[in-house]
Structure 1
């Protein structure tokens, strides 16, 4: 009954899917070799980057900071204590002369003992590549690139999440936020039929049953910011793009770091391949680098780059 209710709520909030024919435009300035290297550095560690392995988490945080420092105006750690251990968000900023900020975020920790290639090395690799591309642009607002720690259980939906710590910092310091873009699982795609699932089967008649699209997830707090991200993403046509809009009663709508920005009344969206509705490797040791589609992931990054340039 809950799944049916969720589906009905979701359908009542649906925005047109926009799965139009993909143009011949290609991700010409995306460096797929560099993206693969980022993914290798993040996933191929001796120990999994979960909350128990502090040394591994710190090594990944250090790698992210070094890469952001190559292109950002400033970089820093946002450190905080959980159960007598120190955990770190990693922040890199461009356009620091401006007050209004766009937040682009992705979590770098994993659930359990696994590589976490799609969840969420793909998001972090996207974050790093967007920083490299956008650092070359002249924008009229600041961008903070934030790699979060402790998104995964047992800290999910608690104030120990790295994204809660960051969002709360913005609120406490009255910082003007243009919006937040959460990158959550952007690397897994399949073109074969029956590779995409939904809360109820009937949704496949609207969105199709092929796992070949990227999604802009919104709720009522996404506002004009969410609508603009959606429209600009669909405009690029580098990869089929759909939009889901609904409340947290819809399973999965708030399953990432954007939820903490929503909770503090910031406009935010999640960019995702729909997670466990598609990728059956979710939260298992099968979520490996070899399962990712780097070309389609690159198209998502390119599409986001064009979108952010036009905001």
Structure 2
């Protein structure tokens, strides 16, 4: 994961920058319309298990291209509830999918905190 404490380090597609933080120090939970209640359940569980900053919301794929692209797509296509968990990739990290995207740029301490919260979330929420 890529993170920064610098104000202005986080960008968004319009209009999300008007309501979400400008500092890239959080993890985001993103769903498509119809997954709102599952999104709330997932975020509540994550926040019970870690104090790591998190935001979340739902939006149609037509409004924000890419919401439906990630690994959660396959689960949704088979009828499983699914939420994308993201550091927002290209909206904060200039090396996304480039040769310069190397392991030394990963914030392993923050990634470990997120992973611990997600592991506990999955144990709590999974059927």
- Asked if TM exceeds 0.5, the reply is yes
Q: What is the alpha-carbon distance in structure 1 between the residues aligned to residue 52 and residue 67 of structure 2?
A: 21
Q: Is the 1:223–1:267 Cα contact (8 Å) retained in structure 2?
A: no
Secondary structure, counterpart of 1:188 in structure 2 = coil
Structure 1 stretches of at least 4 aligned residues deviating more than 4 Å after TM superposition? none
Which residue does 1:136 correspond to in 2? none
In the alignment of these two chains, the number of paired residues is: 124
More strand by share: 1
Q: What is the alpha-carbon distance in structure 1 between the residues aligned to residue 73 and residue 123 of structure 2?
A: 24
223-232 or 281-290, which deviates more: 223-232
Q: What is the alpha-carbon distance in structure 2 between the residues aligned to residue 208 and residue 285 of structure 1?
A: 28
Q: Is the 2:29–2:83 Cα contact (8 Å) retained in structure 1?
A: yes
Which residue does 1:310 correspond to in 2? 124
Which residue does 2:103 correspond to in 1? 289
Secondary structure, counterpart of 1:301 in structure 2 = helix
Q: Any stretches of 5+ residues in structure 1 without a counterpart? A: 1-186
Q: Any stretches of 5+ residues in structure 2 without a counterpart? A: none
Q: Is the 2:36–2:57 Cα contact (8 Å) retained in structure 1?
A: no
231-240 or 220-229, which deviates more: 220-229
Taking only aligned residues, the RMSD between alpha carbons, in angstroms, comes to 1.8
Which residue does 1:278 correspond to in 2? 92
Q: What is the alpha-carbon distance in structure 2 between the residues aligned to residue 280 and residue 236 of structure 1?
A: 30
Which residue does 2:49 correspond to in 1? 236
C-alpha deviation, 1:304, in angstroms: 0.8
Q: What is the alpha-carbon distance in structure 1 between the residues aligned to residue 96 and residue 25 of structure 2?
A: 17
Whether 1:251 and 2:65 are equivalent positions in the alignment is: yes
Q: What is the alpha-carbon distance in structure 2 between the residues aligned to residue 227 and residue 238 of structure 1?
A: 16
CA deviation vs aligned residue, 1:257-301 (integer Å, no higher than 9, x gap):
211222333211111101111111111111111111111101100
Higher Cα Rg, which structure? 1
Secondary structure, counterpart of 1:309 in structure 2 = helix
Normalising by structure 2, report the TM-score: 0.85
Q: Is the 2:31–2:82 Cα contact (8 Å) retained in structure 1?
A: yes
